[in-house]
Amino acid sequence: MRNLTKDTGFIVSLFTISVLIISIIFSCAMSISNKVEAKDISENILYNLYDKSNTDKTYVSAQEYGYFKLDMLPILQYPELPTGCEITALTTVLNYYNCNVDKSYLAEYYLEQGNVGQTNPLDAFVGSPFSDEAYGCYSDVIVNAAQSYINDYRTDLKVENISELDFPQLLNYVKKGQPVIFWTTMNLKKPYESTSWLIDGEKVPWYAYEHCMVLIGFDYDTDCYIVSDPLKGITEYKRELMENRYNQIGKHAVLVY
C-alpha cells in the first residue's frame, strides 16, 4: 500500500515550490516593467527639457546612456592665433568634414580683417588673429570665410548663419552629426563692454572675454554641454551658465553641413 502521508507531503511541497516560482517570475516582470516605465519617463523629461522642437525619437533613445558626443579632433588656437578663436573653431569643423585645412591658412587667406577702430566686428575681424592686440569677429564674418573656402575646395558642403536660435535648439543639429560653431565667453566669464568705436557715426561696442567654441554634445548626468574649446580642447561647461553667456554675447551661431 502507498504511504498516503508521504504522498500528501510531496504534493504540498510541489505546490509550495510552484507558488514560489510563480511569485519570482511575477516580481521580475514587475521590476522590468517599472524600470522601462521609469526610463520612458526620464527620457520624456529630458526630451521636453532640452529638445522641445525635436520629434526624432532616435535622438531620445540615445539618451538612455545619459551622454552623447560627436567624434571630433580638437584644434587649439595657440600659439599661432592668440586671438583667433573664431577661425580656429571653423577649422575644427571643416576638418571634422575631412577638409584637412590649416587654421593659419584659413586665417591668412579667407578671414576678412580690418584695422582696430575702423572695423565693425559684424563685418570683419577687428585686427589680426595672429596678434595679441586684436579683438575678434562675429557670425557673418565666419560664414563668409567658410563660404569662400567651400567655393574653392568643398562645393559639397554648405554654411548657414543660425544666430538667434535658443542654445538648446543647437543640439538639434549636433544630434544629426552636425557640430555647431557658437559664441560665448572665455571660461564662461561674465562679459562687459570693455571698449567701443565710432564707425560711420555709429557706436560699436566690444565685450570683454568674447570667445568662440564648437558644440559637439551633451552630458545629462552632469548637466553639461560638451564643446571643442580652442583654448582647452574637448571640455564640458554647465548648461545654465553656458546658455546665459551665449545670450549675453548676442546669440551668434554658424552651421557647416
State the CATH number of the domain containing residue 157: 3.90.70.10
Same domain, 100 and 132: yes
**Residue 53: what pLDDT?**
40
**Residue 151: what pLDDT?**
99
Please tell me the distance from the alpha carbon of residue 217 to that of residue 171, in angstroms, as a whole number: 7
Same domain, 104 and 165: yes
β-partners of residue 233 are 229
**Residue 153: what pLDDT?**
98
Same domain, 15 and 82: no
Q: Which residues of the chain have pLDDT under 70?
A: 1-65
Residue at 203 is within a domain: yes
Same domain, 130 and 40: no
Same domain, 108 and 45: no
Residue at 62 is within a domain: no
**Residue 251: what pLDDT?**
99
Domain with 9 in it:
4-50
Residue at 61 is within a domain: no
What single DSSP character describes residue 228? E
Residue at 60 is within a domain: no
**Residue 44: what pLDDT?**
32
Angle between helices 239-248 and 167-174 (to 10 degrees): 110
Looking at the structure of the chain, the number of domains it has is 2
Residue at 115 is within a domain: yes
Q: Which residue has cell 579667407? A: 110
Residue at 56 is within a domain: no
**Residue 66: what pLDDT?**
82
**Got the DSSP string for 33-46?**
HHHHHHHHHHHHHH
